Chain A
């Protein structure tokens, strides 16, 4: 069996001064779409920070494409082909829409995505390319954030809470394009509070609870009851 694209091995990670993840094991195969669910404070954001290099850990705790990257700098990890669509979009306010996208392609990795291709995916971004990114609506900003990550032509794309703070109709639009993106052969990890959305687009799910994996399984095999128990803990069930 080939190596997984991403493996987390007993990942212990801290968020500021307190430990947020305890011995988390995960394995993501090439081309898979995996969702990660969990309540606030379960450690989802720390997980994303650890994979993208914003939080540094022991080298072997995060292995990407067979290579230990746990203690690698974030800019070098970006060059290896991991891109993050961060929670809250986090566009660069001093940069125009086009500049945000171009900066996303800074790593110059070869691949299908280009400025033109992103603007084909989200035509509104082409129309508003020279505007300040802050002049856009929340949904349009999320499109820029996704486009910016695609510009890096990543092998693994991380989506952190892409539906947070957006109107339901906008969330629908964003989720409608996801299969097209993933169809390009990209591997995706999706952190999401909207569980039904997450399960609908992914083939496998991990549930985090207080920094530990409380459930792992195929989305077509886990039941609502399993998830409720994994999400809130046995005491609440």
Chain B
């Protein structure tokens, strides 16, 4: 019995990581209706930038975030202003194709720069430390990951609903033309949204790299987990995205408990069941 409870707890905590994968995806879709196929590869890119930072400066991966977050944010802003804004329009196909191409480019550039060998960020003690909770040994790293996910989503929620920046995001999302009449430069607002999304991606990439080994080809899988968490939770609802991540994580760990081979399958089945029963997700944003 305790093993099942353990699997459940591990799944909930894993859901925090998936929510971090998904948060940037959700934000980008919410503000500019852009489906970013390269999102998973950008997470992996962040992990590699973290790897280089830790090796060059000899700092802990979490300290490296002080470099990786602004670097990813800058990449996001430049990517949006220089490339993605040109692809956005009435037709949803061009941005899909452009981000798909971007995904291929990032993967191959990482392969060229870092080889296909699996890499790992060295988190030191924190990777193995655990605390005892009612007979369960809960890892510090998963616990920390979940806490960070909650904090990140609370922070994004605050930005969206309590700041001028968030007011701009929502206005542009509602009506791009009228938002411009208010003096908002759409291209700049989109750039800021992508910068914010990739800053979150930096956190996700570092936590991924400390948790497991990674190589240039794993981006696609992270993209799927992110998508599934967003869809399960309901588009445009950040807390729903956290719930979606948790449901996906729990399905995976419980599936793995039954049979180790069922881990991924159980997650996808849970996603398909939600999609069949509640096509808009469990907590869709209420449209006024």
Contact = CB atoms under 8 A, between A and B. Distances in A.
A99 B167 contact: yes
B56 interface: no
A102 B167 contact: yes
B184 interface: yes
Interface in B130-175: 167-168, 170-171, 173-175
B180 A75 contact: yes
A113 B182 CA distance: 15
A83 B181 contact: yes
Given A102-B167, A103-B167, A78 B182 contact: yes
A178 B170 CA distance: 30
B174 A106 contact: no
A129 B184 CA distance: 22
A94 interface: yes
Given A92-B171, A93-B288, A134-B288, A106 B183 contact: yes
Nearest to B30: A94
B109 interface: no
Contact of B175 (A53, A75, A90, A152): A90
A135 B221 CA distance: 42
B181 A74 contact: yes
Interface of B: 167-168, 170-171, 173-175, 177-186, 287-288
A94 B173 contact: yes
B109 to A, nearest CB: 34
Contact of A152 (B173, B183, B185, B186): B183
A102 B162 CA distance: 13
Contact of A92 (B174, B180, B186, B287): B174
Interface string A60-84: 0000000000000111001100011
B175 A92 contact: yes
Given A90-B175, A92-B174, A93-B174, A78 B181 contact: yes
Nearest to A90: B178
Contacts of B186: 75
Contacts of B175: 90, 92
Interface centre among B179, B180, B181 (most CB of A within 10 A): B181
Question: What are the 3 A-B residue pairs with the smallest beta carbon separation, nearest first?
Answer: A74-B180, A107-B183, A78-B183
